[in-house]
Amino acid sequence: MTSFLAPIEDALQVLTTTLPVVESARHVRIESGQVEDVAKRVAEVAKSAPVWQDDLHFRDGTWKTAGWVLVLDALNFCFWSSDPDPVQRWRVEYRGQLHDGYWALVAALRRATDEGRPMWDPFYLVQLTARDVAHILRPHDLNFPEIPLLPLRVQNIRELGQRLIDSYPDHNPVIGLIEDCQRSAATLVQHVAARFPSFNDVAMYDGEPVRFYKRAQILVADLHGAFGGESLGAFDDLDQLTAFADYKVPQVLRRFGLLTYSDELATKIERRQLIPPGSTEEIEIRAATVWACELLRQALTRSGSPLRAFEVDWALWTAGQSLPPDARPYHRTFTVFY
């Protein structure tokens, strides 16, 4: 039996504040009858989903890894191209292989560290010029466009460096931020959202705030993955994280039949029309994504294959990396939050 009841302990208030959206949504519906079947598919994908520790992410086991991950997630948004030709998108070459999307960002930052740039150091980040950031995130060649929303990425990276320095003037700022949270994932999400405006992912729906905290939550999950759950990646309450409401996971949930859209919204997405950030449609897509993943989490627990919400998200995102060419497109929203 699926349950649309927010948990008693909901430190981030993501499930609590997205629930009224799901209950009154006009454009997006969760097909509760599909939960059990989709949960089985998620369980199968999760068995083969790659772990965070691949060869592309930077990891050295020290605070530098955490600093590098902070930069990664300060820039982890909006990789899609507005060009109707899917080939015409930002791509980065690293060690002889072309990457696009999120993996292009990982490759660009790894390339930067190979070039001797200390991407983990807040004191270095605040000195970066727009030209520096453009070079760090440069595409493979002039045949490919630059990364979308480049000026906002420049702003985010400098904001990250400056506010880390200002918050911890007498300590290593990266270590200080994480250790301040005393192994609490929820506290780190809250601290990051409060201190860095670019991470403060809160929308308004019918006059009420709706919390998503997509990049702040994925930051915690990435730290957990980068350190194998130890040291600066050790958290005692990872169960408090929800799914990371973006554009790829709802695309997969829709393909699996767990999300359905109104004819009006479906037509806009099919035509690749922009869905404005903060619009009713966009908030409903994201809220339904959070709750669809929560229902899958509940179903997996009942079936004896428990996954935490961020692990459900990871399995769905992984499935989204190999969708066939005829898959229905994802919604397109220009935003720094995903």
Residue 86: band (very low, low, confident or very high) from pLDDT cuts 50, 70, 90: low
What is the mean predicted confidence (pLDDT) over 118-123? 98
**Pair 198, 74: CB distance under 8 Å:** yes
Read off the amino acid at residue 65: T
What does the pLDDT read at residue 193?
Answer: 98
What does the pLDDT read at residue 225?
Answer: 95
**Pair 296, 42: CB distance under 8 Å:** yes
The pLDDT tens digits of the residues spanning 127-162 come to 999 999 999 999 998 888 999 999 999 999 999 999
Residue 236: band (very low, low, confident or very high) from pLDDT cuts 50, 70, 90: very high
pTM: 0.95
Question: pLDDT above 90 covers what percent of the chain?
Answer: 89
The pLDDT tens digits of the residues spanning 243-254 come to 999 999 999 999
What does the pLDDT read at residue 84?
Answer: 67
What does the pLDDT read at residue 53?
Answer: 67
The pLDDT tens digits of the residues spanning 182-222 come to 999 999 999 999 999 999 999 999 999 999 999 999 999 99
What is the mean predicted confidence (pLDDT) over 250-267? 98
Count the Cβ atoms, other than its own, within 10 Å of residue 79: 20
In this model, does residue 55 exceed pLDDT 90? no
Average pLDDT, the chain: 95
Dist CA 165 CA 333 (whole Å): 32
What does the pLDDT read at residue 1?
Answer: 53
Q: Which residues contact 97 (CB under 8 A, 6 or more apart)?
A: 107
Task: Give the active site residues.
Answer: 246
Count the Cβ atoms, other than its own, within 10 Å of residue 37: 13
What does the pLDDT read at residue 2?
Answer: 64
